[in-house]
Amino acid sequence: MKFSGLIWAAVYRKPIRSSLTLGSLFVAFLLFGLLHSVSVAFTQGVDFAGVDRLIVAPKYSIIDDIPLNYQRRIAGVDGVELIAYRSWFGGTYQNNKQFFSRWPVPPKEFLDIYPEFIIADEQREAFISTRTGAIVGRDVATAFDLKVGDRMPLIPNIWMNKDNGPWVFDLVGIFDGADESVDTNQMFMSYDFFDEYRTQSQGGVGTFVVRITDPDRTAAIAAEIDAMFANSSDETKTTTEKAYNQMFANQLGDIGFIMTGILSAVFFTILLLTGNTMAQAIRERIPELAILKTVGFSNVTVLILVLCESLLIALLGCIPGLLVASMLMPALSGAVPFFGDVQMTPLIYIQGILLALALGVIVGLPPAVRAMKLNIVDALGEHAA
Amino acid sequence: MSDTLIEVSNVSKIYQRGKMDVPVLESLNLTVDQGDFLALMGPSGSGKTTLLNLIGGLDVPTSGSIRIGSENIDQLSQGQLATWRSRNVGFVFQFYNLLPVLTASKNVELPLLLTGLSGKERKKRAQAALSVVGLEDRANHRPAELSGGQEQRVAIARAIVSDPELLVCDEPTGDLDRTTADEILELIQLLNKDYGKTVLMVTHDPKAADHASHSLHLDKGRLIEAQPA
Ligand SMILES: Nc1ncnc2c1ncn2[C@@H]1O[C@H](COP(=O)(O)OP(=O)(O)OP(=O)(O)O)[C@@H](O)[C@H]1O
Ligand SMILES: [Mg+2]
């Protein structure tokens, strides 16, 4: 459009001021992209559709245990095909230079239920038959230069053993992920050894993992399991893996609420900042706007020009901010594993751009209306005054 | 025998300042012939700018009528008046009011943005207007890179780029030194003589008035023929 030159000219009229405004908008939209994605991931409801694995967790707190003997009763629920469990081991390995999660599990059932952990048959057999056996994912093996046959001493910080010393596991296998999304920064060890050798809480597990035969009945099965243990001393909450991971993170704080809170504060500040800048930019240009009107620009044209200027600035800050956020997203997901698959969905882009447009209008409208109402005679007189 | 271009009949202008009425012009009559170069003088506050703004269609009279050519501009709506201005009047002010980030050429083009002309045609016409004011070699300079006199020339080029019949100048040399002022006045005179523009110029400077074909004095809202100097 032929007025675009005029609008651009308005933007780089004061390059330093415009850069500062654009910089703060860029940061605001970068945060929007990152935080809103996290918030969306955490506030969407539990989606049972097409899910064939469920997590049975303690209802009230992730650090509670549930009794291992629930296993038999869960297995009895119609539609439950396989069942395994795991506990959180904690501990430290070597200099702790790369943290990885460690889980005591029943080797056979666990590997059956998680076919995405790819492991050679003989290593799998060794894991099942070795009492002190453990396997690690490729990430861990690479980070610590481990090979099958190594011994891995872990210093306990939750679970003391009966010798009150380090736990020593024999590395009998190294697994890969079936695809990129599988977390191989983990270690699994035999639950039986762990349970016998620890000094307390015997017979408890952190969570059960259940595979079901009919993904259409997931929600019903989840409800049935929880109903079975309702009003017992160890009530359960059965949900999808994704929802469980989010619940886990949410125990650290209401993530969705925190993210929304931060974003609201950021955008409130941005609103005041850019609002003030726009108002000032228009105030400085009153004689110029008067000239536009003098040579025949209508009031509405002037209104639109100022609004477009404000929208342009908002979009110039928004679009790079969202793009950089999407580039940083994999790093964010990787840095905080239980965030899981946080993504910049197309909806988040659309919401970001709508937010920018709304910001542009809210910030641009008052000065635009002022420019529209500007009386030529008064404005020209102001200059001389 | 010349045609009348401007006919101001019985025009009054009363400004409102708070609750107070400030009468500036009272039942004023004025005719200006096509091709005339009229200088308007008078003490500060006498209403010269007010009259000029009314004739240029920047403001509307409280009562009375103003006809320019075939148009009764006091009858036009704000929007119609804006369109009318863009086609029929060129404005030159004491302060040049150029857009600082635009080049001279882009500044001159501004009024043409409202026409259906192509970018190429707009540029061509801006270039032509700049050569009339003798600044064809400064087309790509920004206002900050020009002298005051050159800036005023750019403003004059902007005023004539859409080829209006009437040129309205409010103290066009008020901010310039003598030599530069004379050059600008010669330019305006040239636009009047060679390009046939009807010029209405407000000035405090009797020497400037000498460039006009005749002068009028405005005092306390009334017009008096200038006494021969
Ligand atoms: N927008 C306005 N509102 C109220 N009063 C105004 C307005 N514009 C002008 N006036 C008053 O009208 C009178 C005439 O003003 P005008 O600007 O026409 O004078 P002028 O002859 O151009 O003066 P100068 O030589 O100083 O430019 C002055 O008393 C001025 O204060
Ligand atoms: Mg004046």
Residue B86 CB less than 6 A away from ligand 1? no
Residue of B nearest to A6 (CA): B102
Check if B46 has its Cβ closer than 6 Å to any atom of ligand 1: yes
| Number of domains, chain B | 1
Phi and psi dihedrals of A172, rounded to 5? -110, -5
User: Which of A207, A227, A250 is at the close of a domain?
Assistant: A250
What is the rounded distance in angstroms from the CA atom of residue B150 to the CA atom of residue B154? 6
| Cβ atoms B208, B182 nearer than 8 A | no
Contacts of B83 in chain A (CB under 8 A): 296, 298
Residue with tokens 């675009």: A4
Shortest CA gap A283–chain B (Å): 14
Q: Are residues A206 and A60 in the same domain?
A: yes
Of B167, B156, B169, B152, the closest CA to residue B48 belongs to: B169
Report the distance separating Cα B218 and Cα B209, nearest Å: 14
User: According to the model, what pLDDT value does residue A182 have?
Assistant: 85
At residue A382 the predicted structure's pLDDT band, cuts being 50, 70 and 90, is low
Residue A151 pairs with which residues in a beta bridge?
Answer: A170
3-state secondary structure of A33: helix
pTM metric for this prediction: 0.73
CATH number of the CATH domain containing B156: 3.40.50.300
Please name the residues in contact with A312: beta carbons below 8 A apart, sequence gap of 6 or more: A7, A8, A11, A360
Q: At what angle do helices A255-284 and A286-294 cross, to 10 degrees?
A: 60
Dist. CA B9–CA B73, nearest whole Å: 12
Are residues A84 and A172 both part of a single domain?
A: yes
Query: Is A360:A314 a contact under the CB 8 Å cutoff?
Result: yes
Ligand 1 atom with the shortest distance to the CA of B46: 21
What pLDDT, on a 0 to 100 scale, did the predictor assign at position B16?
87
The tokens of B198 are what? 């009807």
Asked if A115 and A23 sit in the same domain, the reply is no
Which residue range(s) make up the domain with A301?
Answer: 4-44+254-384
Cβ–Cβ < 8 Å for A189, A103 = yes
Inter-helix orientation angle A255-284/A299-335, to 10°: 150
Q: Whose CA is nearest to atom 6 of ligand 1?
A: B15
| Residue A341 CB-density burial (10 A; 0-12 exposed, 13-18 middle, 19+ buried) | exposed
Q: Which of B59, B82, B95 has its CB closest to that of A377?
A: B59
In a 13 Å sphere around the CA of A211, the CA atoms on its Cβ side amount to 12
- Give me ligand 1 centre to Cα B199, in Å: 21
> How many A from CA of B62 to the centre of ligand 1?
15
Flag the least confident range among A191-205, A253-267, B69-83.
Answer: A253-267
ipTM: 0.91
- From B109's Cα to the closest Cα of chain A, the distance in A is 11
Structure-derived torsion over alpha carbons of residues A112, A118, A124, A128, reported in degrees to the nearest 10:
-40
Say whether pLDDT at A121 is over 50.
yes
Instruction: Tell me, yes or no, whether A259 and A242 share the same domain.
Output: no
pLDDT value of position A215: 82
Residue-range definition of the domain harbouring residue B204: 4-228
Which of A2, A298, A377 lies closest to B53 in CB terms?
A377
pLDDT tens-digit map of B71-130: 999 999 999 999 999 999 999 998 888 998 899 999 999 999 999 899 999 999 999 999
Which of A13, A296, A383 is closest, CB to CB, to B83?
A: A296
Higher pLDDT among residues A256 and A292, named by residue:
A292
CB contact under 8 A, A287 and B53: no
User: Could you tell me the pLDDT band of residue A205, with boundaries at 50, 70 and 90?
Assistant: very high
A-side interface with B, Cβ within 8 Å? Answer: 2-3, 5-6, 9-10, 12-13, 287-288, 290-299, 301, 376-377, 380-381, 383-384
| Local confidence band at A339 (pLDDT 50, 70, 90 cut-offs) | low
Encoded tokens for A122: 């003989």
Nearest to A5 among B49, B58, B106 (CB): B106
Ligand closest to CA B54: 1
Residue A8: CB atoms within 10 Å: 13
How far apart CA A371 and CA A6 sit, in angstroms, is 15
* Greatest mean pLDDT among A50-59, A162-171, A370-379: A162-171
In the predicted structure, residue A384 carries a pLDDT above the cut 50? no
Atom of ligand 1 nearest to the CA of B51: 18
- Min Cα distance B185 → chain A (Å) is 21
Residue A274 has pLDDT above 60, yes or no: yes
Contact between residue A143 and residue A98 where contact means Cβ atoms under 8 Å apart: yes
Query: Which numbered ligand comes closest to the C-alpha of B24?
Result: 1
Residues A286 and A228 placed together within one structural domain of the fold: no
A60 and A183: one domain?
yes
Residue A109 and residue A233 in one domain: yes
Which has more pLDDT, A381 or A76?
A: A76
Q: How far is CA A289 from the centre of its chain?
A: 47
Token duo for residue A316: 């110039």
Residue A342 has pLDDT above 80, yes or no: no
| Residue A219 shares a structural domain with residue A112 | yes
Mutate which: B91, B113, B160, vs A, most A CBs within 10 A: B113
Whether A182 and A230 map to the same domain: the answer is yes
How near does any CA of chain B get to the CA of A246, in Å?
52
H-only helix segments in chain A: 4-11, 15-43, 70-75, 107-113, 121-129, 138-144, 191-197, 218-229, 241-250, 255-284, 286-294, 299-335, 346-373, 376-384
CB contact under 8 A, B102 and A290: no
Q: Which residues on chain A are in Cβ contact (under 8 Å) with B119?
A: 2
Provide the 8-state DSSP code for B184.
H
Residues paired with A169 in a beta bridge: A152
* Nearest chain B alpha carbon to A2: B113
Q: What percent of chain A is modeled with pLDDT above 90?
A: 60
Q: Which residue of B16, B46, B173 sits with most ligand 1 atoms within 8 Å of its CB, as the best mutation to test the pocket?
A: B46
Contact A36, A264 (CB under 8 A): no
Cβ <8 Å between B101 and A3: no
Q: Please say which residue of A231, A250, A269 terminates a domain.
A: A250
Q: From ligand 1's centre to the CA of A292, what distance in Å?
A: 22
Q: Which atom of ligand 1 lies nearest, measured to the CA of B171?
A: 27
List CB contacts of A230: < 8 A, sequence separation 6 or more: none
Give chain B positions within 8 Å (CB) of A13.
100-101
Q: State the total domains in chain A.
A: 2
Tokens (6 digits) for B59:
């403001």
My answer on whether A275 and A149 are in the same domain is no
pLDDT surpassing 90 at residue A254: no
Q: Which residues of B touch A3 (CB under 8 A)?
A: 113
User: Which residues 6+ apart lie within 8 Å of A289 measured at CB?
Assistant: A282, A302, A371, A374, A379
One domain for residues A246 and A270:
no
Q: Is A259 helix (H, G, I), strand (E, B) or coil?
A: helix
Q: What SS3 class is residue A32?
A: helix
Residues facing residue A92 across a β-bridge:
A155
pLDDT number for residue B1: 45
Of residues A97 and B78, which shows the higher confidence score? B78
Residues A310 and A283 in one domain: yes
Contact B85 A296 (CB under 8 A): yes
Mean pLDDT over the full length of chain A: 89
Asked if residue B38 lies in contact with residue B214, where contact means CB atoms within 8 angstroms, the answer is yes
Locate the ligand 1 atom nearest the alpha carbon of residue B202 and give its number: 22
Count of residues in chain B: 229
Mean pLDDT of B196-222: 89
- Site from A282, A295, A375 to mutate, B interface, most B CB atoms within 10 angstroms: A295
* Residue with CA at minimum distance from ligand 1 atom 25: B44
What is the total residue count of chain A?
385
A93: which strand partners?
Answer: A154
Q: From residue A171, give the alpha-carbon distance in Å to each of A137, A147, A165, A338, A351.
A: 11, 7, 19, 26, 49
